[in-house]
Structure 1
Amino acid sequence: MADLPLYLLDQTEENIMNRMLNQVPSDIDKSEGSFIWDAQAPVAFMLSEAALWAQELLRRGFASTVASDRPEIRSVELDLRTAEHGITRREAVASSGSVVFTGKPRTTVPAGTYVATPADEGSGESSVEYVTISGVTLGDLGTGTAPIRAVTPGSSGNVPAGVIQLMMTSVSGVTSVTNPEPTRSGTDTESDQSLLERFYAKVRSQGTSGNKAQYMLWANEIAGVGGVEVAPLWQGPGTVGLYLLDTDKRAASQDIVDAVQQHIDPSQDGQGEGVAPAGPVITVMPAAEVAINISVKVQRTQEQPSTMDEIRKLIEDGVRSYLQQIAFNRKDPLVRYTRIAAVLLDIPIIVDYSDLTINGHTEQQNIEIGSGQVAVLGTVSVSE
């Protein structure tokens, strides 16, 4: 917080007590234990408490100082401050994905069937439950795919491929279940820092009359949106395209896309039924993912033993972080070969590398990411 006003500085109990005693005539006993001293001591204590309360009240009066840096804390005062400008905290979003059921052909798995990940007693992680959104009938090969959504909203529902293995609802004829792909787009209740960022975007960059800034503000009001790209004149005059990312900087799920479409232009007929003005037709879409596949040979340090799986994981984490930083960056729409090379050299257990290829290119060629596209990590192949 900025410097405190003078009237709140040095308001300790001792300082207040000394100032009060200085106002007592010198011919009156004001030593500790005297009547004057004993009478003023409680007053000094309460005034010092009041000064602390005033400092806390001042801190809570500004969005920048009341917002917490801790992701688990949600400031009520920040909610009140942003609500004055029509900005509300985004709720948690349930993760979504799909599962494959295996069993007797022609078996019907109804909507509302519960599946889950096993609990991990070693780490203390509890089971994560999901429910099928629609039913599915197993085909002639005894398999069928059904969409699922996490029962409990939040990022805990984002799990890797192959970990959903339990049938919580018994279905005769089904022998197993698994998720071939990771579940995605689950987000926790919006953090203070994210809410503060949207608050600043609203008050510092006013969106008006349906300009690009306003479409971005409208889209970001929906829970789960992690990035927006506006395409004016998307399919000619009177059309606007909105491409969305989730909070992991991947293509937004259909649930998020539908929610934004419903909020901005539900009828898509130019009648202004949503927050968008009458006239333009708005189409909301998930971003198109461009996979970045990497192959590289590495030389490992001998001082710190490591496995190829450990190195691969470090490379994946580093490249994924880099790709998230440049998502929807129209100022520099390139996945740069040199930046990925820098990720490799920033890993302490990698001494050197060779034969780095990105999407099959052996030369130092950058990958251009077009409008409405987002670069995401594909396969990472590591050898030595």
Structure 2
Amino acid sequence: MTYYENMKKALQESGDMEIGSFAADNIAAVAAEMERIRAMEIDRIPMRIFPTLASGEDLTLAATNFGVERKEATAAMVGLLIEGEAGTRITNEVCACCGEIVFRIQEEGIILEEGSIILPAKAEETGKMGNIAAESITEFAASYAGLERVTNPLAAFGGSDRENDEELRLRVIQRWQNPGTGGSKGDYLSWALSIPGVMRARVFNPSAGNVSVYIIGEGDMEVLAEETAAFIEERRPIGANVSVQPAEKVIINVSAKVQLKEGFAQENIRQEIIGRLDAFFAEQAFLTDTVSYTRIAEQLFAEGVADVVSYTLNGTAASVSLLQNQYAALGTVEISV
């Protein structure tokens, strides 16, 4: 029922219900105002303005109040080795593809006398799907006069998806917990995490005036470190000596013997465990300096595992310690029954 219907129902005198009566006119005006207020969704304001509760574009706007911008998707870059007739001009109309992923030439060039040239190309669509492996590009998107073959000697890099709500919310919380104060640790952390492709960062002050920033990300980490360093260079306090480096990856090989429940296949269980371990390592990166032996056991209890008989991390039944500039990443996974 509407506000007007509820209020009219509450009137005691039947005469007060007549259209045009003093009471009817008054409750009509009050009900209309109450409906207008309800349409404003005032009761949902906390769900829209607080980063811990907001989602979607509401979260994007809420994050800006903390000086945090949602990272937009970026397109992958790749170097294309193009072979063909010497002297052939290559324009930015030339495209090559890997399946449905199309890369467009970014700089014009002319095939050299030896019959080839390497030119930069950019994915037509944004997203980390463009970070294809080396030699994945094998054909042009169309037929081009004078051009014969194309490939990518190195993997594509720099493609990233639009930052999702959970990633953005985490950065807002980190910003709130580590407020910037003119070149503080919180500033460097926020600056590093604002770069598309940077997933985690750590900041240290090894000595007075020196700042070390270590990053974890996707794609070409050397290029990502250079982009991060350039961004920080424009914002750092005068006199601060800042170095930005990719964090060192420590591979963790997991070997386990498990008992399976009836009806579950060993390989399916292995794939399930790999997914759980990948997610665990991604979540724990830079949050701890130890790969907990007991926490790994939790990940081994995938659906279909009745019991974990024994397991090792890099060949030992113990936790793995990490340095401050290191993070753990999953290596091989061997599951026996």
TM-score (norm 1): 0.67
More deviation, 184-193/282-291 = 184-193
Q: CA deviation at 1:303?
A: 2.0
- For the pair 1:287 / 2:268, whether they are aligned, the reply is no
2:141 to 150, 160, 168: 168
Report the Cα distance in structure 2 between the residues aligned to 1:225 and 1:54, rounded to whole angstroms.
38
Report the Cα distance in structure 1 between the residues aligned to 2:118 and 2:309, rounded to whole angstroms.
41
**Which residues in structure 2 correspond to 1:125-140 (within 5 Å)?**
127-131=100-104
RMSD: 4.3
Report the Cα distance in structure 2 between the residues aligned to 1:52 and 1:302, rounded to whole angstroms.
55
Report the equivalent of 1:377: 330
Report the equivalent of 1:340: 296
Report the equivalent of 1:74: 57
Report the equivalent of 1:350: 305
Contact 2:261–2:305 (CA<8 Å) still a contact in 1?
A: yes
2:224 to 248, 256, 259: 256
Contact 1:251–1:287 (CA<8 Å) still a contact in 2?
A: no
Report the Cα distance in structure 1 between the residues aligned to 2:212 and 2:136, rounded to whole angstroms.
36
Measured against aligned partners, the alpha-carbon deviations of 1:322-346 in whole angstroms (never above 9, x if no partner) come to 11121012xx3112233223322x2
Q: Which runs of 4+ in 1 moved over 6 A?
A: 101-104, 108-113, 132-135, 143-148, 160-163, 178-181
Contact 2:192–2:198 (CA<8 Å) still a contact in 1?
A: yes
Report the Cα distance in structure 2 between the residues aligned to 1:53 and 1:152, rounded to whole angstroms.
38
Report the Cα distance in structure 2 between the residues aligned to 1:161 and 1:313, rounded to whole angstroms.
25
Give the structure with the higher percent strand.
Answer: 2
- For the pair 1:62 / 2:18, whether they are aligned, the reply is no
Report the Cα distance in structure 1 between the residues aligned to 2:101 and 2:209, rounded to whole angstroms.
45
2:34 to 33, 44, 48: 48
Which residue identity lines up with residue 356 of structure 1 in the other structure? Y
Measured against aligned partners, the alpha-carbon deviations of 1:51-77 in whole angstroms (never above 9, x if no partner) come to 213433861772347721xxxx323xx
**Which residues in structure 2 correspond to 1:192-203 (within 5 Å)?**
192-203=165-176
Task: Kindly tell me the number of residue pairs found equivalent between the two proteins.
Answer: 329
Contact 1:296–1:383 (CA<8 Å) still a contact in 2?
A: yes
TM-score (norm 2): 0.75
Which residue identity lines up with residue 370 of structure 1 in the other structure? L
Measured against aligned partners, the alpha-carbon deviations of 1:302-331 in whole angstroms (never above 9, x if no partner) come to 323x252x23321211111111121012xx
Query: CA distance change for structure 1 residues 254 and 151 in 2, over 3 Å: closer, same or farther?
Result: farther
Contact 2:71–2:195 (CA<8 Å) still a contact in 1?
A: yes
Contact 1:14–1:44 (CA<8 Å) still a contact in 2?
A: no
Contact 2:255–2:333 (CA<8 Å) still a contact in 1?
A: yes
Contact 1:225–1:252 (CA<8 Å) still a contact in 2?
A: no
Q: CA deviation at 1:214?
A: 1.9
Q: CA deviation at 1:231?
A: 2.2
Unaligned runs of 5+ in 2: none
Report the equivalent of 1:326: 284
